[in-house]
Amino acid sequence: MTTGQPGTGAAQPAPAGAQAENQPATASPTGSTTGPADTSGTDKAPDSAEASAATTTESPGRSPRSTDGAKPATATNGRPTGPSAATGDIEPGPAKDDVPKPGGTGKAGDTAEASATASNVTGTDAPKRGWISRLTKRGKAAKGDSAKAGDAVKAGDPVNADDTRADAAKADDPTKADAGKVSDPVKDGDPKDDAVKSGGTAKSAKASDADGQAPADGETKPADPDRWEAFASAPEPKPSILTRSSRAVGRFLIHEWTLAALGALALAVLMTWPTLRYPRYTLPQDSWDPSLQAWQMAWSGHILLADPARLWQSNTFFPELWSFAFSDTLLGYAPAGMLGSGPEDAVLRYNIMFVLAHALATFGAYALARQLGAGRIGAAVAGVAYTYAPWLLSQAGHLHVLSNGGIPLALAMLARGHGWSLRHGYRPERRHDGWVYGGWLVAAWQLSLGFGIGLPFAYFLGVAVLVAIVLFFVRRLRTRQAVPFGRRLLLANLLGGLLFAGVGLLMAFPFFRVTELHPYAERTIDDVDGFSPPASGFVTAPAESWIWGGLHEGARAALPWHPEMTLLPGYVLYALALGGLFFSVWRLRHRLLLLAGVLVTMAFAMGTRFFDGTFTYVPLFEHVPGWSALRTPGRLMLWTTLLLGLLAAGAVTALTDRVRELTAQRIPSWPGPWLRMATLLPLLLVTVEGLNNTPHPVVPTQPAAMRTAEGPLLVLPSSQNLDQHVMLWSTSGFPDVVNGGSGFTPRQLDDVRRVSQAFPNPTSIEYLRTLGVRTVVLLRDRVPGTPWEITIDAPVESLGITRQEVGDAVVYRL
C-alpha cells in the first residue's frame, strides 16, 4: 500500500515484500528522516504483498513525491492513504495530473519499481525526479502533516528539533504503539540510514508485526565537551612586550606615510647632490645669501638660549635697532640653530636644512594630493614636480623660498581635519579636530620662516576661510538642513586661527618698526617692475637646470634679471597638466577651477608685465597690508606649480586606475607587470627634468683675527656681498659688528663705508669712535685694488691707535 499526501500532486509508493524489510528510511531535504508509517485506519489491500508493505511518514515541511513511472497506489475504496487519511486531517486535494484513477490498484511490478526508487527521492537524483521544479511552479513547499494523530496541528508549524521524539506522530488507536514515531532529525549534509547499523547490516522491520514498530534513530547521548579538547589547536601564546613592540615598529616602518617620508628624504639627498658631499665647507649656488641665512639660523638659536629679549637686536649692523628684521629671518629654524657653534657648524646646519626643506616640500605636496583623492603615483608626481621644478633651481641660494613645504602640508592637515577632499567632497564622519590644530600650527611655523613666501599663504588662508563659510551657509540654506560641523571643530579653527594670526602679528611688528625707522626701505612699484618677468619666462629654464640650462642660454640673455625671471615649471608638468584637463579623476568643475587658478597665479607672477599690473599686482601692492614688501612677483610661481601638480596628479591617477582595471581583466595577467611599470614613466620624467647643475662653491675661511677680536668691530673692505661672509664669521661668539648684508642697506652703514675708505686717518677714526667701534680688521687678501692697498702698512702711532698682524689680517684697536 502506498502513502500519499493530497495537495502535493505526488504520491510516494511504499516498498513491497522483502524490499520493505531492507528499505532504509530516507532523509528529507529539510533534514528529517522518513520512516515507516502506521496503516491503521485504512483499508487493507487484498494482495498479501501489498498488505505487508510498510508506509512511510513524511517529516513536517516536506511532501512525498511519486517517482517517475510508478503508478500511485490506492486503498480498496479508491481513497488515497497516508497520514492525513489515517488521522482524519483535512488537506487540499491532489493536483490534476497526479490524481490516481478511482478503483485502480498498483500492479506488483509497479510497486516493486516504485520501491526501488523511493529510497532515492532525497538523494542526489532528487532534482532529476522533478520535485524541485514542481515546488517552484506551485510557489511554495507543501506543509507538513500533524505531529500527533488526532491533533488539529496546522501544516507548516515549526517543529523543535529537541522535541522531535516527543512530537512524533502516533496512531488514533491506543493499541497501536508508536507505529508512526519520527526519528531524530539529521544534520544537513550528513544524512544517516537508521535501518543500517555497523557495517551496513540491515535490521528487518516486518510489516506483519502487530505493533508495526519501525526501527528508529537511537537516542544520542550528549557528547562531553571536554572529550574533544585533545583535538583542539594549542592556544596562541600571549606575546611579550618586546614582541608587541617589534610588531608595532614593523607596522610603523611599512606604513605609507613612513615610506613617503623616507622616500622624500632619500630623493632630496640625491636631487641636491653634492650638497652633503662636503657639508662643512661648501654652500649651494653661491656663498653670499646662503652665508647670510646660515648666520640667521645660528643667531636665532643662540640668542633664544642666551637672551631672548635681544632677538630682534642682532649682533650685525651695529648700532642699528631691529636689525634682525632687515630681511626674512628663518626664525622657524631656531631649534636647529641651538645645536653647534661657529661658522663650520653654521654651514653644516644650513646644508642639512637645505636638504630637509626639499624633503618636506615633496612630502607636503604628496600628502596634499593624497588627501584630495589622488593615487600614490599621482601624488608622488605632484610632490616631485612641486619641489624640483626647474624654476626653483635658480632659487637654490634662497632657503626662505625653498622652505615652502609647510604650505601644502598645512593645507593637507586642515583638509583632513575638516573631512574634505577634492574627489569625495565633504564627509562629516571623517572630521577630526586634532588635524585642524596641527594644520594651523604648521601654517604658523611656515609663516615664521619669512613673509616672502608666508604672506601670500596667509592671505590665501584668509580667503579660503571666507569661501568655506559662505559655502557652508549656502549649502545649509539650499538643503534647509543643519550641515554637520561640530563645536569642537569650530573651537579648533578659532584657536588655531588665533594662533596663526598672533604669530603673524608678532612677526610683523619688527618689520613695521624697521619701516618707521627706515622709510626708504619700503619698496616702490619701480622696484617691482624691475623684477617682473615677461611671458617668455614661463618657458625659459635657469642656468642651473641640467637638461635645459645650456639650451636656454640665449633666451635667458634676453631677460633683464634672469635669476628671478626664468620661471619654467617643467615641460613634462605642462604636458601632464594639459592631459589632466581631459582625462582625470577630478570632476570637470574642479579641473576648470584648477585651470583658472593656474592662469590667475601666472598673471600675478608677471607683476607689472601683465597689462601693467593694473588688474593684478598693483592693486595688491597698493591696498593689501604688507604686500608692498614683496618686490619679486615671480616667486608667486610657487602656487602655479602646485596647481599644475594637482592637475597632473589627477591625470596620472586616472591612468594608474585604468591600468589596474586592464591588468585585472587579463588572464593571464601578462603583460600586467609591464603596464604597471609604465605608470611610473611620468614620475621618472618629472624627476629627470628636475636634475640640477647647481655649483657648490667653497665658503671663505674665517680669518683668525675674527676669533679673538673684541667688538664692536668693523671689517674692511665692506660691501653687500662681503659683509654676508662677515656675518657668518661672527658666529664665533657673536661679537657686535658694523657689517651686514640684507634686502636693504641702512644709510648709516653707507656712511661708514664711505668714511672708512680713508682709514686709518683722523676723520675716520673719530667717526668710528663716535659709533662705538673699538676694533677694525683689515683683510689683506681683499685689499688689492682698494684704497687700503697703500695704507695697510703705514704707521699709526701718531693717530693714537695700535696695529697688530694676526694671521692674514691687520687688527687696529681704536
CA distance 722 to 729: 11
Mean per-residue pLDDT, 579-607: 96
Residue 167 dihedral angles phi and psi, to the nearest 5°: -100, 20
Q: Give the pLDDT confidence of 272-317 residue by residue, as tens digits.
A: 999 999 999 999 999 999 999 999 999 999 999 999 999 999 999 9
Compute the half-sphere exposure of residue 621: CA atoms within 13 Å on the CB side of its CA.
24
Q: Hey, how many other C-beta atoms are within 10 angstroms of the C-beta on 657?
A: 14
Q: Is the pLDDT of residue 111 over 90?
A: no
Check the CA dihedral 160-162-168-174 and report its sign: negative
Q: Which of 376, 326, 794 is nearest to 585 (CA)?
A: 376
Q: Which of 3, 2, 9, 7 is nearest to 97 (CA)?
A: 9
CA distance 283 to 397: 8
Q: Give the pLDDT confidence of 600-649 residue by residue, as tens digits.
A: 999 999 999 999 999 999 999 999 998 988 889 999 999 999 999 999 99
Angle between helices 588-605 and 637-665 (to 10 degrees): 150
CA distance 54 to 466: 89
**Residue 292: its pLDDT value, please?**
95
CA distance 685 to 572: 7
Q: Is the pLDDT of residue 210 over 70?
A: no
CA distance 182 to 689: 84
CA distance 45 to 657: 76
Backbone Cα Rg of the chain: 47
Residue 779: strand pairing partners = 809
CA distance 540 to 565: 8
Strand segments, DSSP code E, in 145-227 are 196-197, 201-202
As given in the structure block, the three cell numbers for residue 483 are: 550641515
What's at 231, amino acid-wise?
F
As given in the structure block, the three cell numbers for residue 76 are: 480498496
Q: Is the pLDDT of residue 472 over 80?
A: yes
CB burial of residue 293 (10 Å; 0-12, 13-18, 19+): buried
As given in the structure block, the three cell numbers for residue 268 are: 632630496
b/e for 143-152, b at 16 or more Cβ within 10 A? bbbbbebeee
* DSSP conformation class of 147: S
As given in the structure block, the three cell numbers for residue 584 are: 582625470
Q: Which of the four pLDDT bands, split at 50, 70 and 90, describes residue 357?
A: very high
Instruction: Count how many residues are written for the chain.
Output: 814
Check the CA dihedral 108-109-115-118 and report its sign: negative
Q: Hey, how many other C-beta atoms are within 10 angstroms of the C-beta on 247?
A: 11
Check the CA dihedral 447-450-451-454 and report its sign: negative
Determine the straight-line distance between the first and last CA of the chain, rounded to whole angstroms: 138
Q: Is the pLDDT of residue 432 over 90?
A: yes
pTM over 0.85: no
DSSP string over 331-369: GGGHHHHTS--HHHHHHHHHHHHHHHHHHHHHHHHHHHH
**Residue 669: its pLDDT value, please?**
62
Q: Give the pLDDT confidence of 659-692 residue by residue, as tens digits.
A: 888 887 776 666 667 778 888 999 999 999 999 9
Q: Helices (H), strands (E): how many in the chain?
A: 30, 13
As given in the structure block, the three cell numbers for residue 452 are: 616672502
Q: Which of 297, 299, 295, 277 is nearest to 287 (CA)?
A: 295
What are the residues whose beta carbons fall under 8 Å from the beta carbon of 352, sequence distance 6 or more? 276, 279, 336
Q: Is the pLDDT of residue 793 over 70?
A: yes
Give the torsion through C-alpha atoms of 107, 112, 113, 115, to 10 deg.
120
**Residue 671: its pLDDT value, please?**
66
As given in the structure block, the three cell numbers for residue 604 are: 600675478
Structural contact between residues 334 and 507, judged by C-beta atoms closer than 8 angstroms: no
DSSP string over 568-589: ---HHHHHHHHHHTTS-SS-HH
Coil, strand or helix at 176: coil
Q: Is the pLDDT of residue 556 over 90?
A: yes
As given in the structure block, the three cell numbers for residue 614 are: 593694473
What are the C-alpha distances in Å from 457 to residues 500, 515, 602? 11, 22, 16
Check the CA dihedral 288-505-312-516 and report its sign: positive
- The secondary structure of 69-81, three-state, reads CCCCCCCCCCCCC
Q: Is the pLDDT of residue 551 over 70?
A: yes
Mean per-residue pLDDT, 521-548: 92
**Residue 333: its pLDDT value, please?**
96
As given in the structure block, the three cell numbers for residue 211 are: 505493533
Q: 224-238, 312-326, 368-382: which range is least confident on average?
A: 224-238
Q: Report the share of the chain in percent with pLDDT over 70.
A: 71
**Residue 238: its pLDDT value, please?**
85
What are the C-alpha distances in Å from 204 to residues 36, 109, 207? 12, 22, 9
Coil, strand or helix at 283: coil
Compute the half-sphere exposure of residue 599: CA atoms within 13 Å on the CB side of its CA.
7
CA distance 387 to 406: 12
What are the C-alpha distances in Å from 429 to residues 306, 416, 421, 433, 678? 48, 11, 13, 12, 36
Residue 624 CA, chain-centre distance (Å), reads 36
Q: Which of 493, 470, 501 is nearest to 625 (CA)?
A: 501
Q: Which of the four pLDDT bands, split at 50, 70 and 90, describes residue 28?
A: very low
What's at 670, amino acid-wise?
W
What's at 200, amino acid-wise?
G
Q: Report the share of the chain in percent with pLDDT over 90.
A: 56
Cis omega (within 30 of 0) for bond into 712: yes
Q: Give the pLDDT confidence of 62-90 residue by residue, as tens digits.
A: 343 433 443 334 444 444 444 333 333 43
